[in-house]
């Protein structure tokens, strides 16, 4: 509307005229470029070099583009136009840039001041630049009737596809300061918009999928007692047959809410459509919370299409059905219960992480289309639910060891409200032990490295150097002592994985499975041992060597190969040397040099392994022993 008024009413631009649009990639600038091209004007435009690609994309010729960072645009455009310059200038600059822009009207014309940071006197401009009509304006100067006429014409142009909305960079209301700084730095294309979150109408209806589950039920109580929602539909696969439903309904009714419990699966599109159709028109749907889900932990090797389909249906298929069936419902809220497993990764939860990653992306997809959408990637709730009830001691210990701590129901619901106030498409409501993120030698997830308060895990090169030192240390020990040292490494790693305080709690002759190692902890144990030893170990390591003592012997053999292999290699090398010497013709001088080296090698070999024994025995050696050692030295 501003660009329309500036070009047509104030600038009186006509087809075939030349127009210069300063800041052509801004909000009004992008609109002015579109209108000028639609009305048949020859468009010249300026923008910072980093944004000029947007002008090219809008169809502005390369020779008609210049920078807003210097005054070269004046001479450039005068040169392109043979000194004639412009017919209309839409200005958004100031100071010497305004002076240079006025010089681009040597034949007179319209100068429309839109930036209003350097307003000039119209009479003084006319005197200094003959024929130039200078206009600084406010949009409302046009008056309501004219604005209505312009709106009508613009509406028709949008309907015909002649115009498209300018690019939009969105910030949440909680990010208003960042939005203003972004605008001040002129980093944007088009418009900068601050989203003001819509309020959930307490007289409307909220649909909660998974509403009869533990977390869904707690949310329903919160919505009724804290947010004052008066109409709630709880949808779950078991519906009224779910445990504790009667008590939940009674509690919600006590908070003044009218509750309907509906059996159904949101992954069933027709069934979901039927549930939505039953929501009364006088209390229309105002918000959706998708809290349903199925978890089926499995390592990659044990995943099947059927197991993945079950998890994906409950999360992803259901969410997409909710999106499509409510897209035109004018919702104020569309909240998806995701998981931190999709954000930070979680061993053995590949399908669950993928399903929740879909929810995170769906929230962003909706926001890009100016629809409400927020995905909450929950951490661990202390209150056991159908999805977390399977976690036992080892599983909970593993999560805590990774810095994830359980949160109370009160903390979780407080984070629900905090995330709503934050307003971002993705939030991670979780309770983290920042000091424990890298405890125990675990690598810190990339997303959280800036939060970790302990020293980061050493680089791979340092770990590899330590692993090389381990091999050298073991090589200096007897086989029995070396195996004991590796066994201690295995027991210590197993104790950490299983949550024991001491390596002594791990029986070296008891099977890992009996000790409590499952498929997930087996992977973690493998990873720890790989880091400790520097060896590339298979995922099936613990199952191939199911007892700590057996595993220690296997690792010791990998780190310190048996002597038999080295002997065979040495003998093969000697055979190769013999073959080379037999095949090469030698004169007496060459033969003498080689013979000398062979004698030296022989002498070294004869004394190898005896010096250490001699040194160890010097304190207890007899005179005869000392004489023999001296004689061997003279022989050398």
pLDDT at 342: 87
| Calpha distance 347→399 (Å, rounded) | 10
Query: What sign does the dihedral 490-492-498-502 (CA atoms) show?
Result: positive
The full length of the chain comes to 636
What does DSSP say about strands 42-47 and 109-113: parallel, antiparallel, or unpaired? unpaired
C-alpha triplet 606, 607, 613: angle, nearest 5°: 130
The residues of the chain scoring below 50 in pLDDT are 389-392, 394, 456-465, 563-564, 611-616, 618-619, 626, 633-636
What separation in angstroms does the CA of 119 have from each of 92, 113, 115, 138, 519? 11, 7, 8, 12, 73
Q: Do the beta carbons of residue 534 and residue 463 sit within 8 Å?
A: yes
Q: Identify the CA nearest to 73 among candidates 89, 58, 54.
A: 89
Task: Give CA–CA dist 39/32, Å, rounded.
Answer: 10
What was the pLDDT predicted at 280?
83
Dmax (CA) for the chain in angstroms is: 125
Q: Is the dihedral of CA 21, 27, 30, 31 positive or negative?
A: negative
Contacts of 481 (CB under 8 A, 6+ apart): none
- Which residues touch 450 (CB under 8 Å, ≥6 apart)? none
β-pairing, 404-405 with 431-432? antiparallel
- 3-class DSSP state for residue 191? strand
Q: Are 209 and 266 in contact (CB under 8 A)?
A: yes
Closest CA to 167 of 31, 68, 69, 38: 31
User: Which domains are assigned to the chain?
Assistant: 2-159 (3.90.180.10), 205-392+407-432 (3.40.50.720), 460-561 (1.10.1200.10), 584-635 (no CATH)
- Strand 205-209 relative to strand 231-236, pairing: parallel
Q: Which of 391, 424, 392, 429 is nearest to 408 (CA)?
A: 429
Tell me what pLDDT residue 402 has. Answer: 58
What's the rounded Cα separation, in Å, for the pair 375 and 334? 9
Alpha helices in 39-119 (DSSP H): 52-57, 72-80, 96-102
Q: Residue 174 has what pLDDT?
A: 87
Q: Of 426, 373, 415, 424, whose CA–CA distance to 173 is shortest?
A: 424
């Amino acid at each position: 509307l501003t660009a329309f008024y500036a070009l047509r009413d104030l600038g009186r631009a006509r087809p075939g005229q030349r127009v210069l649009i300063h800041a052509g990639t801004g909000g009004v600038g992008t609109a002015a470029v579109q209108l000028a091209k639609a009305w048949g004007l020859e468009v010249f435009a300026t923008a910072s070099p980093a944004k000029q690609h947007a002008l090219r994309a809008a169809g502005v010729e390369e020779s008609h583009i210049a920078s807003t960072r210097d005054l070269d645009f004046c001479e450039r455009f005068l040169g392109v136009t043979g000194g004639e310059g412009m017919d209309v200038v839409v200005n958004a600059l100031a100071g010497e840039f305004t002076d240079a822009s006025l010089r681009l009207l040597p034949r007179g014309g319209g100068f429309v001041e839109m930036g209003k940071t350097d307003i000039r006197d119209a009479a003084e401009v006319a005197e200094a630049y003959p024929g130039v009509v200078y206009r600084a304006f406010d949009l409302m100067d046009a008056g309501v009737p004219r604005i209505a006429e312009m709106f009508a014409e613009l509406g028709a142009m949008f309907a015909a596809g002649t115009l498209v909305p300018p690019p939009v960079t969105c910030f949440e209301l909680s990010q208003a300061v960042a939005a203003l700084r972004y605008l001040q730095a002129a980093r944007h294309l088009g418009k900068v918009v601050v989203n003001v979150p819509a309020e959930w109408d307490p007289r409307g209806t909220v649909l909660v999928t998974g509403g009869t589950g533990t977390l869904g039920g707690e949310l329903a109580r919160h919505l009724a007692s804290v947010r004052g929602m008066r109409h709630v539909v709880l949808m779950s696969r078991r519906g009224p047959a779910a445990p504790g439903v009667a008590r939940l309904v009674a509690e919600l009714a006590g908070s003044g809410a009218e509750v309907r419990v509906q059996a159904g699966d949101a992954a069933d599109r027709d069934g979901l459509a039927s549930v939505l159709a039953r929501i009364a028109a006088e209390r229309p749907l105002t918000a959706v919370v998708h809290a349903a889900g199925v978890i089926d932990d499995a390592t990659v090797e044990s995943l099947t299409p059927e197991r993945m389909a079950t998890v994906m249906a409950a999360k992803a298929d259901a969410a997409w059905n909710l999106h499509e069936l409510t897209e035109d419902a004018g919702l104020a809220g569309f909240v998806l219960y995701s998981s931190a497993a999709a954000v930070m990764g979680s061993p053995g939860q590949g399908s669950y992480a993928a399903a929740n990653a879909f929810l995170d992306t769906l929230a962003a997809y909706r926001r890009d289309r100016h629809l409400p959408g927020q995905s909450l990637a929950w951490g661990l709730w202390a209150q056991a639910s159908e999805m977390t009830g399977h976690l036992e001691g080892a599983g909970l210990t593993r999560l805590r060891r990774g810095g994830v701590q359980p949160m109370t129901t009160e903390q979780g619901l407080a984070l629900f409200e905090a995330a709503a106030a934050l307003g971002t498409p993705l939030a991670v409501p979780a309770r983290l032990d920042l000091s424990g993120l890298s405890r125990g030698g675990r690598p810190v997830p990339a997303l959280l490295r800036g939060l970790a308060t302990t020293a980061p895990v050493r680089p791979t090169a340092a770990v590899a150097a330590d692993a090389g030192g381990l091999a050298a240390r073991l090589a200096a020990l007897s086989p029995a002592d070396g195996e004991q040292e590796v066994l201690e490494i295995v027991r210590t790693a197993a104790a950490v994985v299983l949550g024991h305080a001491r390596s002594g709690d791990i029986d070296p002759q008891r099977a890992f499975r009996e000790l409590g190692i499952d498929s997930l902890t087996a992977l973690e144990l493998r990873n720890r041992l790989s880091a400790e030893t520097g060896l590339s170990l298979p995922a099936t390591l613990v199952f191939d060597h199911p007892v700590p003592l057996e595993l220690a012997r296997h690792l010791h053999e990998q780190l310190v190969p048996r002597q038999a292999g080295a002997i065979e290699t040495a003998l093969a090398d000697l055979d190769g040397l013999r073959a080379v010497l037999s095949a090469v013709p030698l004169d007496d001088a060459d033969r003498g040099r080689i013979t000398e080296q062979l004698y030296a090698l022989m002498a070294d070999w004869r004394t190898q392994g005896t010096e250490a024994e001699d040194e160890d025995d010097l304190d207890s050696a007899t005179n005869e022993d000392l004489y023999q050692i001296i004689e061997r030295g003279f022989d050398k």
